[in-house]
Structure 1
Amino acid sequence: MKKAEVVFIPFPGVGHLVSTLEFAKLLINRDNRLRVTVLVIKFPNSTETNVYTKSLPISDSLHVINLPECSLPPNSDPVSARNALLEAQKLNVKEAVSNLTTGAENGVLAAFVVDMFCTTMIDVAKEFSVPTLVFFTSGVAFLGLSLHLHTLRERDNVDSTQLQQLRELAVPSFTNSVPSKSLPSSVLRKEWESFMMDFWKGLKNADGIIVNSFEELESYAVRSFLSDPSLACLPIYPVGPLLNPEPKIKGTVDSDDIIKWLDDQPPSSVVFLCFGSMGSFDEDQVKEIACAIENSGTRFIWSLRKPPPKGTMIPPTDYTLFYLGSILPEGFLERTAEIGRVIGWSPQTKILAHPATGGFASHCGWNSTLESIYFGVPIATWPLYAEQQTNAFELVCELKMGVEIALDYRVEFNSGPNYLVTADKIEKGIRSVLDKDGEVRKKVKEMSEKSRKTLLEGGSSYTYLGRLIDYIMNQINHFHSDFGQEAYNHS
């Protein structure tokens, strides 16, 4: 019998690509009637996606097609470049999908799964008369906020200037009102308005939204989708946590070295400071962090990266050892040699999974948040950009699974950070996140247990995944008689 073919279109950013690929694996492992084809879009001259797609276990149920690279208009800002890239790839997507549906050995086209930033591809799915599901790489509460902001704009004409002037905003997917300073920069800035409207509208055009989260973690937000009339028509499928396996990237540090060092430390005694694939700080801020670490006297692993040239979108790089000494306070490395390690790129999941790691000072990217909860490590929040301020607010104020270093710190693309976080504030966060008897640690440990069970039979994510597969198979029954009732019953 032919398989049901599901076409995945992930966004090229690593934080998006990896969880999408994990979801593709989850889907085909759950039901052998499905086959997944991942259409990989690349940014021009970028190789970072290769590391992840090459490590996929290619089988007759999962295969990867690299779409031809497109050149982009010169000197375009990140948003225009992205839009141009997706528009240029529509023809390639159409061609790839047409080839999929004509080959004798291929399956029957059942659905598209597109990244939250690739909803413009819904147009292509419509041409093939199949439904489109959006893969949302952040949490359910933030999804609810996004849809609510679209409603406010459409219904009440609330724009970015008005949002800035509000002290806080009541949002159906949050129990507490969300302070405007915890909203993403893109929501508060005039120049992002049309982009955000397209983004929100794209979400509402989907036939359903797959979310990398789980009901036990965000139960209030998940319920809001059932009870709020403006959201009830949009089915959501929280099927997470889908965690990032580490790619085989070599930084300046040998990860075995770090793990060996952790093996010698007492349980839950080390604070891990790491700010994501795009996170870095200037010299003033680095000195404040160093000062806080030293004053706290705690054991630490600090992933410290070199900022890219101002106004560019390239990721931070690793410092050379010589340069490291010059940006840290004089003698810092010598004085802390016994209790800590300053490294470049870090094997994040290995460090979080280690019993010696007791706290995580993090930028609150959603993947990092899920990993931290999964491994039972409380977070000290220090958001930088995108939706991280909202995630930090959710962790500290809604879920009580994080402590605050900062909630409203933000780095703007062209103008840098909005303030300097002082050493005493950082030190307080570090001490607080390592508190052995704290309520936060207890809550995170309990949620860690739940996050490990939710994808097993009987768990909520397992159940949602089953519903999603039923939905996909039903679409086929609608359109193709050779997928008769018998195929459906076998589910």
Structure 2
Amino acid sequence: MAGPTIVLLPAWGSGHFMSALEAGKRLLVAGGGAVSLTVLVMQAPTEIEASVVEAHVRREAASGLDVTFRRLPAVEHPTGCEATEEFMSRYVERHAHHVKAAIAGLASPVAAVVVDLFFTPLLDAAHELSLPAYVYFASTAAFLALMLRLPELRDDLTVGFDGMEGTVDVPGLPPVPPSYMPVCLVSKTVKNYDWFEYHGRRFTEAKGIIVNSSVELEGAVLAAIADGRRPAPAIHAIGPVIWFDATLPPEQPHECVRWLDAQPAASVVFLCFGSIGFLDAAQVRELAAGLERSGHRFLWVLRGAPAGGVRYPTDADPGELLPEGFLEATAGRGMVWPRWAPQKDILGHAAVGGFVTHCGWNSVLESLWFGVPMATWPLYGEQHLNAFEAVASMGVAVELRRTTAKDGDAARSLVEAAEVERAVRRLMAPQGGGSSEAREKAAEVSAACRKAVEEGGSSHAALQRLVREIVRVVAGHTRPE
């Protein structure tokens, strides 16, 4: 009989897929040959997302690790969904019988099933097969704590967080203003809240939750989740889980990296807004004006608005989006890159001294890994809560403040040029001849993150405990600790 395997069900978005896969590989390595990894791959809903997932699968399949990929049959797309979270959840529900059949048909005994945080409908398949099930939570422990609280918060909200007075109690965090609540939750008029509450309730059915964080990053939050005042399974903080390409580096470094090679140490502010983040033309003009007035060197990954019904940005046309004369005025100290750029390579470069970021958790972790302080520019998802935590709890970021302006009959949020200038100067300029407070704190957190995942660190120890728990009982016999 083949040895036991861990079954992993990652979501198709790159930030979820690669984070979950990297976590699975860590379980595999920590198991020391006691388990293999079987990844059940759901067909992504769009061609672009499917092609990205396939590229990841091809690369990882050739890695030499004991990882097997199995593709699940296609299902029909649900219709009439009000929001992305509803579509995703209903789409996942339609795979339940395929998942159960795929797991039941494996030649290897299954040690555990690990599902993405949005895949909780698939916990039923694990329960029906009498298998231990875990949730992989690719975001912060703070967002996890909030999701576990959603059922009790429902009664306190009339229309949602956007109409709430006072602050929100997120266990382990300072009082959170409603403006920092995840935008996917602010209103109860669409079904986002219902689905996040649904997933939060179902988390309690899992044997444990594997979270991409650490005691060093979110110790107070993790302690608050574990204090027993609210239902919660065991929490395994094994982060930071960051994916680094193990293939050989290219013979020719990326053009952005070559440009950075010519810049002084810690002199460049890097601006990037994630795989699906972009700014409209008016906001691009404000950002450009603020960068020009700041006087600092910059590397700006500028993306265009999505086209063709997909949510991924297009390659930008700098001549169309940027103010006239901007490129000439900043020549020599600024670079605008209109396509995808290798973010980890850039953040790890000695010339980068600050990061203006959308605050996706993967980006925050990458910035902290390299000790780069941030300026927060959250756009979607849970990023506003991440931004609050980076500023108020961790002290590794400065806030970029928004103003509300009239746009015809509607109100719109805008980061004005003066605010961009202020935040960049504060982020990049040393105070009192030394390093800025955020830079010093980012360096401390970087060291703590790296120590956490090393042998003897808190996350390494949590990973080892989790692997022992998973492989202890397989195929009806007990394994020694």
Scaled by the length of structure 2, the TM-score of the pair is 0.90
Unaligned runs of 5+ in 1: 249-253, 410-414
Residue 10 (structure 1) shift: 0.6
Cα contact 1:278–1:315 (8 A) shared by 2? yes
Residue 227 (structure 1) shift: 2.5
Indicate the SS of the match to 1:329: coil
Indicate the SS of the match to 1:454: helix
CA gap of 1:228–1:427, structure 2 versus 1, over 3 A, is farther
Cα contact 1:204–1:234 (8 A) shared by 2? yes
Aligned twin of 1:40: 41
Cα contact 1:14–1:49 (8 A) shared by 2? yes
What does the per-residue CA deviation read over 1:415-440, in whole Å, with 9 as the maximum and x for residues that have no partner? 99941110010111111111332111
Give aligned-pair identity as a percent: 37
The AA in structure 2 aligned to 1:99 is G
Alpha-carbon separation, structure 2, partners of 1:118 and 1:147: 16
Indicate the SS of the match to 1:16: helix
Match of 1:480 among 473, 476, 479: 476
Aligned twin of 2:302: 304
Aligned twin of 1:54: 58
Cα contact 2:214–2:458 (8 A) shared by 1? yes
CA gap of 1:60–1:18, structure 2 versus 1, over 3 A, is closer
Residue 352 (structure 1) shift: 0.1
The AA in structure 2 aligned to 1:373 is L
Residue 134 (structure 1) shift: 0.3
Aligned twin of 2:311: 314
Alpha-carbon separation, structure 1, partners of 2:277 and 2:129: 40
Q: Tell whether 2:384 aligns with 1:389.
A: yes
Residue 58 (structure 1) shift: 5.2
Aligned twin of 1:96: 102
Alignment of 1:245-394 (within 5 A): 245=244, 256-309=254-307, 312-319=309-316, 323-343=317-337, 344-394=339-389
Cα contact 2:162–2:187 (8 A) shared by 1? no
Residue 60 (structure 1) shift: 6.8
Aligned twin of 2:25: 25
Cα contact 1:382–1:407 (8 A) shared by 2? no
Alpha-carbon separation, structure 1, partners of 2:402 and 2:381: 13
Alpha-carbon separation, structure 1, partners of 2:367 and 2:375: 11
Unaligned runs of 5+ in 2: none
Scaled by the length of structure 1, the TM-score of the pair is 0.88
Indicate the SS of the match to 1:469: helix
Aligned twin of 2:440: 442
Residue 110 (structure 1) shift: 1.5
Larger helix fraction of residues: 1
Cα contact 2:402–2:415 (8 A) shared by 1? no
Q: Tell whether 2:419 aligns with 1:425.
A: yes
Residue 151 (structure 1) shift: 3.0
Indicate the SS of the match to 2:179: helix
Alpha-carbon separation, structure 2, partners of 1:416 and 1:68: 44
Q: CA RMSD in A?
A: 2.3
CA gap of 1:269–1:326, structure 2 versus 1, over 3 A, is same
Cα contact 2:278–2:304 (8 A) shared by 1? yes
Alpha-carbon separation, structure 1, partners of 2:373 and 2:418: 20
Alpha-carbon separation, structure 2, partners of 1:128 and 1:465: 25
Indicate the SS of the match to 1:117: coil
Alpha-carbon separation, structure 2, partners of 1:361 and 1:258: 16
Q: Tell whether 2:39 aligns with 1:64.
A: no
Indicate the SS of the match to 2:94: helix
Cα contact 1:263–1:356 (8 A) shared by 2? yes
Alignment of 1:230-249 (within 5 A): 230-231=230-231, 233-245=232-244
Cα contact 2:403–2:414 (8 A) shared by 1? no
Residue 138 (structure 1) shift: 0.6
Cα contact 2:28–2:37 (8 A) shared by 1? yes
Indicate the SS of the match to 1:488: coil
Identify the range of structure 1 (165-174 vs 349-358) with the bigger mean alpha-carbon deviation.
Answer: 165-174
Identify the range of structure 1 (39-48 vs 259-268) with the bigger mean alpha-carbon deviation.
Answer: 39-48
Residue 160 (structure 1) shift: 4.4
Aligned twin of 1:203: 203
Cα contact 1:181–1:408 (8 A) shared by 2? no
Matched pairs, number: 460
